[in-house]
Structures are given as structure tokens and as C-alpha cells.
Structure 1
Amino acid sequence: MPRLSLDDLYRFAVPSDPALRPDGGAVAYTLTTVDRDADENRAEIWLAAPGAPPRRLAEGSAPRWSPDGRWLAFLRAVDGKPQLHLLPMDGGEPVVVTEAPLGAGAARWSPDGARIAYAGPVGSGGQAPDPHAPVVAERLDHKADGAGLLRGITTHLFVVDVESREAVRVTEGDFHAGEPSWSPDGKRLAFVASMAPDGDLEAEGAVYAVPVAGGTPERLTGPEIICTGVWWTGDDERLIVAGLKGGPVGHTRLFTLESGGLAEVETGLDRNVMTGHPGYPGASPALLGDDLLFCVRDRGSTHLYRAPAHRLVPEDVSVSGVSVAAGRVAYVAATAHSAGEVYLLEPGEQAPRRLTGHALPDVELYTPVRRTFTAPDGTEVEGFVLRDESATTPGPLLLDVHGGPHNAWAPVLDGFHLYHQALAARGWTVLALNPRASDGYGEDFYTAAVGAWGLADGQDFLAAVDDLVADGIADPERLAVTGYSYGGYMTCWLTAATDRFKAAVAGGSVTDLTSVSGTSDMGFALKAYECPGDLAAQSPITRVTEVTAPTLILHGESDDRCPVGQAEQWFAALRERRVPVRLVRYPGASHLFILNGRPSHRYDYNERIIAWLEQWVSGSPS
């Protein structure tokens, strides 16, 4: 059986966003594939049920069942803009129900099934902005990665009548409204927003409720937490709120909000609640009867728990979507052998039932092995080692650094970093390390590098490499380092701190914290909360004269999170010193292009990493 290759990128089929039918009998989900000829990612709605093979329903994404299960709402592009469609489940073709000028968001059905709420973009005066008009900014939040310059576009709530197709705008103002949640009586919508006059300079987020016919939103929470999500659950007036307590850097927690005020949910876990975002697994909290279900990250894996601390899924999985109905739980999870499958957990059953089989059946995979290392100051850090276990002599090692820095590597098949499997097949060992600041090891560990990027966390990487060299796994003369985003930052930092690495690949990197604080869409937050203090002392560019490692720099041209100027600075500094360097810029690519960008760009990214490492470490031509 062949090993996984880069060409398998075009064969992956990855499920997400499961929606359990109200009777619990079937699960609709989004299946993402790749169209190689069109160089596009494709999204389709599929249906899985016990005892039946999964089947395709329609082109689109974000399926949501009507309360009676007769209709499935989903998003599909019309003239390039996502619009809500309804698919009749008793037969017939989908019908479009919105004509939003800038597109609609995912559906939220009213309790009676007569209306659908959604959050969608709105231009100034309700019109699309002129792309050629001058852009005037008075606040720092005038751009966003993936969207670019916002040109006055904000996100607001709408309610559309299912029968008449008439849409009503519910919220107005100079703020962005988060995803809506219906009150049990169908009269109000709850959402999260920052309405502070200086919201671009303040870490602020509150829960609001607004009548579905529109009006002035009522603020329901105070400054004691920074709210990030809200959900009305069950048949009472209780709201579940996700938020941060004590500052913008730390664990997300869950709270209940009732007439008596805000109360923290006792999960019994020193772990970060994961509500699910691009590049970050997890799911919205939900009720199973009277029990609250939620996701947390634990030692790389993302688990589904029932409060207070009962894990519902196997240990080494990564959950990225949960739905509850009729006493059943559907979820999507990646494992060491699959980038994602749909599972169903039924009442009284201890083990979940797998409903799909989207894993590639004809490839052999290397399995990551969990390992613990000890830094010089005694801090234990964990990582995952990927290699051919039959190898008996030291070989080349690639240290890969994740982004965030509060993300984490997981012991599951990674459908984005395909070079891990490809390099293992070429005799490499890949070390995916979760240093301090990684999620899943407690809040003290999560915040351990605040204000000390490179200074506090750098030792973790070198200690782990030392251990693998001492164990005869890694050849000390054939070491390389790579990473993306914060990982790109740390790649630059480590090659300035030591000459042990014979090659480096910096992706989507930050090299100068001073300049990025004024050019990134999150620059002020980075400077104020993540890297307070001496920015120069934490910036790789300050130490660039120490770099000797041949460096490949990979960067999205339209990256607003870590703007391409960061790559240009590093490239120019190395080139001036005649260090072997190559800069590759991906046209139109945002910061997350390695996850959701053009398939050809993602393939090229993986291919170039392998070629650069083989050239400078293994001695093979590029």
C-alpha cells in the first residue's frame, strides 16, 4: 500500500458542520473536496444515517434543519454571493430565499420554523462599497484578514420570513453583530458585539438582546467578562455565554446568564473551552437533556465533554462540530487515520457509531507518537513524533512550530501539513511540539509566554531537539525548522538564536513586532496584550545578523494578519548578508490560505517545503 503523497491533497474529502435532524435519525453535514481542474475548494451537503451509505444532497454548505425536519436550509453562492436556500426533504429542488446584496450567513431557525435569522455583511447605506473610492479610516479595525479593507462594511442581523421571503434588518449601527440565537418564545435575538466607542482599542464584548422586529439592543452583561459567543438553550430564559474573565489572553470559559445574573459553569477542568473557529477545532455548546455539552482542548486533542467533567469521545481525536437532537449527539472528529468522519452517539451506548467513511482507503499512514520533554527550567512540554518506526539510524529532523501561539498540534491526521507524511516516507523525523503558550495544558501554561515571545518559549524547542539527538533519532548535522504564523516567527527566532539548523522555512511569519503592531489587523491587540513590553527584545529582526541557515520564506500576498512586509524585511536582511534565501508570494492569498486557499497554492506550499529541505539538508537538488 503506498504512503500518503502530496497528490492526495486532491483526493481528501473532509466533513464539517454536522446538523442532526430533529428526530435524531440522520445527520446533514458539509463535505469539502477539491476540484483540481478549477483550482477550487468545493462544498456539498451530504446526509448520513445509521445503516445507510452517505449520500449527496446538494451543492452548498452550513446545513440547518427546520424544527419539523421538513426543510434543510443551507448556503450556496448566487452571482458570487452566499445566499440562503431551502431544500424540501420530501422531494424537489432547492429554492433561494435571500437576495442579500453582499451575501447571507448561516441560518438560525425560529422555534416555530416560520422565520430564519442570520448575520450578514452590510455596506454603508445598504449598498456595496465602491472598490475604487478612497478608503478613509478613523479606527484601527478598518480591515480584516480574508476580507481586506472593510470600506465601511459591518455585520448585522436579519430575519427572513420563510413563506413570503421578506427580510427585515434587525440591527443598525457602527458595530459588528455576532451570530444570532433565538429566544425560546421567538420574540428576541441574542448576539455578541463590541459597541464601545473605542472598541478598536479596548478588549470588549458583551451580550445583547434585540426584538426580532428591530429596535435598540439591550445589553445583558457587564465588563466582568469579554463575551465571545451566546446561545439560548432549552425552553427557559437561560443563556449560555462563552467569554474570557480577567483579560483578553487566557482560557475561554462558559457562563450561564439568567435573571439572577451571570454564573460561571463549573467544568472541573483547567482547560480552554473551544467553540470552533477557522483553524481551531471545537463546537458551540449544546444541551443534552439537562446536561451541558461543550468542547475543550486537552494535550493537543479536542474533546467533547458533558459538564462537569465527563469525556464523551475517545482520547486521541479532534472534534470539530457537534449537534444534539432527540437525545442523540452527532459530531465530526479527526483521528490518526482520518482527517474527519461523522459519528453518532446514542442514548445508553458507550461507544459512538461512525456513519461515514471519507478516509482515503488506499494509503498507509505514519502515526504520531506522543512524547514529553523537559526544558532547562524544568517545564515539561509535549510533542508528537512522526517517523518510520523501523528506522535504526539517526536521520534528518524537521522541527515544526504551530501558530497562535495558543494553537496546538494534535495526534491526528493533518490534511493541511501533508509534508509531514511525505517527509516521513523519505526518512525524516517530524517533531510537532506544543511549547509553553500552547493550548491544552492549563491556563498558567497558556499564558507562560505573554510578553516574552522567544525569551520564554525558545528553550522548549531546543531541549526537545537535544533529546531526540541523544536518543539516536535525529542526526545533529541534519536539523531543520519550519512553522507558520507564530511558527514562522519562531522559525526566524530560532535560526537567529542558534546555528544548529541547516535549513529553515518561515511561513506567514512575524519578524518585527514593532512594525506589525501598526500594520496587522490585530496589531494593537498583539502589542497590548500578547507582547507587552520591549517589542525589539522579542523581535527576530533585532537578531537577524546571527542567521546563517538557508531560509525559504512563504507568504500570502493579501495577508492582513501578518502582512507580507514582514516577509520582505526578513528576505531583504538575509539577502543583504548573502545568506541563501528565497521569497515566495502567493497572489490573493490571505493568512489562512494554507487551510482554505487555492488548492494549487496549498500544494505548492507543501511541495516547496520538501524541496527546500531536501536541497539544503539531504543534499538533493531543488
Structure 2
Amino acid sequence: MADTPPTTPATTPTSTPFADLGAFAALPRLSGLALSADGTRLVTTVATLTPDATRWRGALWEVDPAGQRPARRLTRSAAAESSPVFAPDGTLLFTSARPDPEARGDDDAPAALWALPPAGEARVVGTRPGGVSEPLVARTGGRVVVTSATLPGSDAAEEGPTSDAARRAARKEKKVSAVLHARVPVRYWDADLGPDEPRFLAATLPGAEPAAGERDLLTWTDLTPAPGLRHHEASSALTPDGAELVTTEVVAQPRGDAYVRLVAISTADGSVRVLADDPQREFGAVAVSPDGRSVAALAESRSTPVQPPAVRLVLVALDGSGVREVVPEREFWHAQPQWGPGSDELFLSADDRGGAPVFRVDVAGGEVVRLTGDRGAYSSLQVSPDGAHVYAVRSAVDAPPAVVRLDARAADQQPQPLPGPAPAVPLPGTLTEVSATAADGSDLRAWLALPAGASADAPAPLLLWVHGGPLGSWNAWSWRWNPWLAVARGYAVLLPDPGLSTGYGAEFLARGWGAWGAEPYTDLMTVTDAALEREDLDAARTAAMGGSFGGYMANWIAGHTDRFRAVVTHASLWSLGHFGATTDAPWYWAREMTPQMVAANDPSAHAASITSPVLVIHGDKDYRVPIGEGLALWWALNEHWDGDPEEMPHRFLYYPDENHWVLTPQHSTLWYETVFAFLATHVHGVEFQVPDLLR
């Protein structure tokens, strides 16, 4: 007889926002920080649900660095605001496509650069036909640089037949969308690249607000008139005086390969100096020192079929005299270094055993001090001008993002929360850890989110969730894959960091490199076995889930064990040989995916062994893991089902206009509704309930 879910607190939704998908979607979502030059103003971005619940819309909020005043909202528009940065005089710059009250209305206008003075109204100061993004402002002098998508062959003129506006109008009039590519890449995540290309534009901010009836739109200097895709997804920073833009540059190589070097571009005439060029490593996370002499950056070594990349913190001399590793032999995964006020120390957060703590690094000697003593994940670090405090956005697996303050001198401290715009939310359970030992002796660990009321008398069913990447970790809050939604429905959620996870040292990561179906898989099974030794978990009712690389692992799991009652695979790799040539960055994956690696680790080779019911989820606009992977997997499940077609247990949730993550609120809600309905059927044995909007 089919199981039915027991009526215990472990499976009864609790009175938290996680019990209601609509309430969860409506929770404010905080991200990013900007600190004024004098350290008195701190600004963050908060996304909230639009009235029709079809998208999240960002607004800028000010948080008191002293922690005395409540947060206050600075902007409000239907178009949203983003990318805040302070000018030296305290003016807050940001980008938005909101209507310009001093210009003719255009509902399709691209994002412009806006300026909000300390007292007064926001006004447009910079526009471009392709919009502007990622503003940077020098510490002195008012020099500003933005990125703007511009059609090839366009000149710097605002008008005329060769202007960007004229060329865009011609394509629009003829309804032309075609792009002629000369090399890879042609797509990125969910965007078709071209025909426009990212250019850097420079200008000097006006010194005062214009008189009544006057406008002071910036006059841009095009620093990169023919860039191609050299600066696509660049990491950039201005020198303190604004004379140069330090940025990353993609260097094309034979056979479709590429690497990333570091250059300095004059903001006066666009001339370029190469600062660091090494085909065996790629630079990113750029930060220029306050004295203008050095650039802090991350250098990621080039991987090989048998060697994963390593990430080092380096110092690059701005005079081009060399590159030095600041902390030899120590890796800083997913870090973004920030300078202290004296150019003698750096602050950064990096993956570390299920967290992303904040570290202070002495530039001269390489000494590292861990400032935070918790397992939180910190990001968007901002250092006060006196060097006394570090402000950050802190999240954790059990805590959504919030603004906090740290003592820049104290080790192993607890953060001080600042009054913010997003209130804390009660969780429907608790978070603990599970540890185990792999067959090769490696220490393994995982987070375990437990529902309230789970006990030996009422054990909770277990969901194994595998993270993506693969070079990643379960160490921060996730809005997209949120375990507490499952916990509110009575499930326990296991979040392991198997081989290939970051924050556990180079040797641990290397265990799974080129061997995805080996140690990562056995690590997952070992940690699952360890978790199921608990009396408050039900070993007879389990399921496995994953997205991206986690989806690969879900497919591999489905083909290698029948222990799970259901498998959910989202945006997953299915046929490695096909994936490598169709993904948006084939040159990167080719370094690891040799024919031998593909043959040994291809989930599609084990399609006939799949017996667990599988829910396939894929978006057509996913270019990192193209839709062909989901379609091929769906066909394989159909091809190998030899029972009654009306009783096939597998399902395919397809999104024609979503990408790798499924980003719109209504589609995200349907995602969870479908997943929970699928799990209820196969974990609890109840009849499958198709969500109303999918009937």
C-alpha cells in the first residue's frame, strides 16, 4: 500500500513565510553595498515584488553605518535602480531606465546614469543608445567610467549616419536580428552576444547642479572604439586620480581558446598598457590601492585534464614591473579584495568549510587574520575611511542577506547587525551539521536543515540537494534553491560539499577533477548514509535533487542507484560529449573534458539503468547548459520506459523563456509547486497534483 504522509509537526507547514510560496516570493531581497568617501553613508539595494508579482524590482536604501537610525528608502520607480556608487562630493550615482522628467518620455529607453545629491532630486547625467551600466568613480577629480553596449562601426558622435543611434534605428526599421560572428563565444548564460559590444566610456562629473532650465549631460570619451568582446564581463577599477582604468582583457588563442590578462587604459586618450600577461593564469576581482601604486587581483591558474585551477591573491605593480603572490600556497575562492585606507592591507571573504568568512591580509608579509568567527558568508565588503570598521552583507544557509558591521582589528568576532530594510524572518526548523569520512580518509561535511518536530517517533523524509558549480559550496543563503521551503513541508534537507567543492583545500577539490562520477558521487552517498543514521530521519523515504552540476550529479545518481524514491534534475548535463561543444564557453570545459573523461563520466551511458522517477526541468534560454541536454534526457527516459505510456512516472517541466536559474517570480513559484507535487507523489505516495497554471 502506498505511504501517506504522517500528520505530525514534521510534515505540517509552519506559520513562517516559507509555508506559503507567495509570501516567500514577497520577502525583500537585499544585495550589494556602497560607502561614501567620508564613511557616513551606506547604501544597499533591496528588490521587492512588483504589484503584478511577475518580477522583482530594485530600490536603493540607506543604512546608518553607526547603527542608530532606521534604514530609509532613497529611490522609488517602476523601472528599478541598481549599481550605486558614491562620487567624492557625496553624490550618489546609480543606473536606471526610469523616465527622465526633463526629456521626452520613452517607455523603451535604456538604462541611464542618474545622480542623487545629498539634498535634492535625482537627475539624469549620462545617456547612451545602448544604455549604461557598472559606473566607476575616481576617488578624486570626478572622473567617471561606464560600460555601454555599442554597435561595431559606430563612432563617438551622438548623431549622424555612423552614430550608434542611427545604426540601431536602421536594424530596428529593417527588423534585423542577425549577428555575424568571427569567433567564440556567441552566447553567455542567457544572452545572445552581439551585434553590440561592451565599450568603456569616460567623462568628468559636473561640479554643481545646473541652473533652472539647463541640462548637464556628460560628454563621453570612447576609450575602446573597437573592442570586440575583449572586455566582456570585465572586472575593472579606476586609479585614485581617475587617470587610468585598470581592467581585464580577453586574449583570443588558436583552436578557440582564450585567457584573461590585466591592462591599464588611459581615460584621456584610450591608450593601453599591459600590466600582467600570462597564458597560464587568468586575472579578475580587480582593486587599485589608495596610493595608486598597486593592483590587488585574483589569479586563477589554467586547468588541465588532471589539474584543477588554483586561485591566488596577487599584487600587480601599476608601473608594469611584475606580479607577486601575496599569500603563497593559500587559495581564495570567490573573493573580491578591498583595500584598507593605507594601502598596506587587504580585506576579503573567501570560501572556507561551509562559510565565507572575512580575512584581513597584510600586503607586505602575507599574514592572514580571520575577522569573523561564525559560519556566515560575507560579501560586498566596504572599509571605513579610518580603517576601523568593515561593512558587509552577511548571509548564511539559515539567514537571508543583511547588512552588518565588523571591527577591522578584532579576530574571530561576531558581526554587529545594522538596522536594515529587510526584517529577519522566522525559520520553520533548525540547521545542524553532518560529518563523515570518505573511503580515502578525506573529511566530509554537510549542512542538514531539519523541520520542527522531527524526532525518532516522527522521522522526516530526507532530500539530498547537490550544489552546482561544480567549483562551489553550500555556504550562503539561496533564494533560488531555498531548503527552508522544503523544511516547512516536513522534509529534512541535506546540503553536502563533496569532492570538487571549494573551501576545503586544493587536494580535496582535486579528488573529483576529471572524475565527476567517482569521488563526488561516493562522497554524496557516504554523507547521505551518515545523515540517515540519525533517528529523526526516515531512511525509507528519500529523494535526490540538483541543478547545473548538481543536475549532472542527480542524473548520475539516477543511473547508479535505486535508493531514492524520486530524482529532480534541473538545468542538467546529460551527454557530456554533446554538452562540451554547445555550451557558451566550450574552450573552458575542453580543458577538463577529454574523450577519456567523457567516456568515464557520461550519465547518458547509463540511461537504461534509471528506475527512479525523474522530474526534468529546463529553460530554453539556458546557454550554459543548453536545452538540448534536457531534451536528450527526456527522450532517453521515454525511450527506456517500456510500460504503459499512461503510467510513465517521469515528468518534464519546460520553460520556453527562462534561463539557467528560472528568475521570474511566477515561474519560480511554479517550479517549487511542481517539485513539491512530484516529491509528494513518490516520497509520500499521494496522487500527483498538477499546479493550476500548468493544467
The alignment's TM-score, normalised by the length of structure 2, stands at: 0.82
Q: Cα offset for 1:473?
A: 4.1
**Aligned pair partner of 2:406 in 311, 324, 345:** 345
Q: Aligned residue for 1:296?
A: 350
Within a 5 Å distance, the mapping from 1:429-448 to structure 2 comes to: 429-448=492-511
Please show how residues 420-499 of structure 1 align to structure 2 within 5 Å.
420-499=483-562
Q: CA deviation at 1:602?
A: 1.3
Q: Deviations over 1:477-508 (max 9, x none)?
A: 31210000001110010010011111011001
C-alpha distance 302-347 of structure 1, shift in aligned 2 (>3 A): closer
Find the aligned partners of 1:14 and 1:284 in 2 and give their Cα distance. Answer: 24
Q: Are residue 561 (structure 1) and residue 620 (structure 2) matched?
A: no
Which secondary structure does the structure 1 equivalent of 2:111 belong to? strand
Candidates 227, 247, 263, aligned match of 2:283: 227
Q: Are the aligned partners of 1:507 and 1:553 in contact in 2 as well (CA < 8 Å)?
A: yes
Aligned residue for 1:195, secondary structure, equals strand
Alignment of 1:239-318 (within 5 A): 239-247=295-303, 249-258=308-317, 259=319, 260-266=321-327, 270-275=330-335, 283-289=336-342, 290-307=344-361, 308-318=367-377
For residues 170-207 of structure 1, give each alpha carbon's deviation from its aligned partner in whole angstroms, at most 9, with x where no partner exists: 013323322432223332111101133549413x1111
In the alignment, the residues of structure 1 paired with residue 604 and residue 595 of structure 2 have an alpha-carbon distance, to the nearest angstrom, of 17
Aligned residues: 605
* Cα gap change, 1:263 to 1:487, in 2 (>3 Å): same
Distance (Å, rounded) in 2 between the aligned partners of 1:429 and 1:298: 24
Indicate the SS of the match to 1:494: helix
Contact 2:337–2:346 (CA<8 Å) still a contact in 1?
Answer: no
SS for the counterpart of 1:194 is strand
Matched, 1:82 2:111: yes
Give a deviation string over 1:19-63, Cα, whole Å, max 9, x none. Answer: 112221221111122225141111011001131110000141111
2:371–2:409 contact (8 Å) kept in structure 1: no
- The residue identity in structure 1 corresponding to 2:281 is I
Q: Contact (CA 8 Å) 1:226, 1:247: kept in 2 or not? A: no
What is the 5 A alignment of 1:109-124? 109-124=137-152
Contact kept, 8 Å, 2:333 with 2:503, in 1: the verdict is: no
Conserved 8 A contact 2:434-2:448: yes
SS, match of residue 446 in structure 1? helix
Query: Could you say which residue in structure 1 is the equivalent of 2:197?
Result: 154
- Deviations 1:511-568 (Å, cap 9, x if unpaired)? 0111111111023311323666331321111101000111111111200000111111
Equivalence for 2:260: 205
Q: For the residues of structure 2 that align with 1:237 and 1:555, how far apart are their CA atoms?
A: 47
Within 1, Cα distance between the matches of 2:118 and 2:255?
44
Q: Distance in 2 between matches of 1:347 and 1:463?
A: 40
Is the deviation greater in 602-611 or in 337-346?
A: 337-346
How far apart are the structure 2 equivalents of 1:337 and 1:466?
23
- Partners of 2:426 and 2:597 in 1: CA distance: 49
Listed as ranges, the matches of 1:514-593 within 5 Å are: 514-529=577-592, 533-578=596-641, 579-593=648-662
Relative to 1, partners in 2 of residues 1:331 and 1:574: Cα closer, same or farther, differing over 3 Å? same
Matched, 1:103 2:131: yes
SS in 1 for 2:494: strand
Match of 1:460, as an amino acid?
Answer: D
Decide whether the 8 Å contact of 1:157 with 1:180 is kept in 2: no
Q: Tell me which amino acid in the other structure corresponds to 1:110.
A: A
Which amino acid in the other structure matches residue 47 of structure 1?
E
Counterpart in the other structure of 2:186: 142
Aligned residues of 1:192 and 1:229 also touching (Cα < 8 A): no
- Gaps of at least 5 residues in structure 1 are 276-282
Report the 3-state secondary structure (helix = DSSP H, G, I; strand = E; otherwise coil) of the residue aligned with 1:368: strand
Letter paired with 1:256 = L
Q: Secondary structure at the match of 1:534?
A: helix
Q: CA deviation at 1:468?
A: 2.6
Segment drifting more, 460-469 vs 354-363: 354-363
2:15 is the counterpart of 1:2: yes
- Name the amino acid aligned to 1:273: W
- Aligned equivalent of 1:416: 480
Larger Rg: 2
**Structure 2 CA distance, aligned partners of 1:136 and 1:12?**
43
Q: 1:503 is matched with which residue: 536, 546, 566?
A: 566
Shift of 1:152: 3.1
Retained in 2: the 8 A contact 1:117–1:180?
no
Q: Which residue of 1 aligns with 2:391?
A: 330
TM-score normalised by structure 1 residue count: 0.92
Distance in 2 between residues matched to 1:570 and 1:139, nearest whole Å: 29
Distance 1:429 1:616, change over 3 A: same
Q: Relative to structure 1, is the Cα distance of residues 585 and 251 closer, same or farther in structure 2, using a 3 angstrom cutoff?
A: same
Matched residue, 1:319:
378
Aligned ranges 1:371-410 → 2 under 5 Å: 371-388=434-451, 390-393=453-456, 394-410=459-475
Q: Give the direction of change, closer, same or farther, for the CA distance of 1:241–1:609 in structure 2 (3 Å limit).
A: same
What is the RMSD of the two structures over their aligned residues, measured on CA atoms?
2.3
1:230-283 deviation digits (Å, cap 9, x = unpaired): 22111231111211135384232211112441100117x7443323xxxxxxx4
8 Å Cα contact 1:374-1:380 kept in structure 2? yes
What secondary structure does 1:125 align onto? Answer: coil
Q: Is the 8 A contact 2:296 2:337 kept in 1?
A: no
| Distance in 1 separating the partners of 2:597 and 2:268 | 50
> Contact (CA 8 Å) 1:332, 1:341: kept in 2 or not?
yes
Encode CA deviations 1:357-404: one digit per residue, 9 max, x unaligned.
Answer: 455556333232122122233322210111136422343211100000
Q: 1:413 to 1:135 in 2, by over 3 A?
A: closer
Instruction: Please give the alpha-carbon distance, in whole angstroms, between the structure 2 residues aligned to 1:603 and 1:413.
Output: 18
Task: Select 1:46's aligned residue among 42, 57, 61.
Answer: 61
Output the amino acid matched with 1:400. W
Identity %: 27
**Structure 2 vs 1, CA of residues 362 and 238 (structure 1 numbering), >3 Å: closer, same or farther?**
closer
Return the structure number with greater strand share: 1
Aligned to 2:104: none
Distance in 2 (CA, whole Å) between partners of 1:373 and 1:389 is 24
State the secondary structure of the residue aligned to 1:498.
coil
Distance in 2 separating the partners of 1:57 and 1:324: 22
Map of 2:32 onto structure 1: 17
Match of 1:188 among 217, 233, 244: 244
The 1:63/1:460 distance shift into structure 2, 3 A limit, reads: same
Alpha-carbon distance between aligned partners in 2 of 1:88 and 1:334, rounded to the nearest angstrom: 31
Match of 2:48 in 1: 33
Letter in 1 for 2:472: N
Deviates more, 1:395-404 or 1:321-330: 321-330
> Is the alpha carbon distance of 1:473 and 1:463 closer, same or farther for their aligned partners in structure 2, counting shifts above 3 Å?
farther
Whole-angstrom distance in 1 between the partners of 2:309 and 2:415: 32
Preserved CA contact (<8 Å) 2:140 2:240: no
Structure 2 residue runs of 5 or longer lacking an equivalent are 1-13, 99-107, 155-163, 207-215, 362-366, 642-647, 689-695
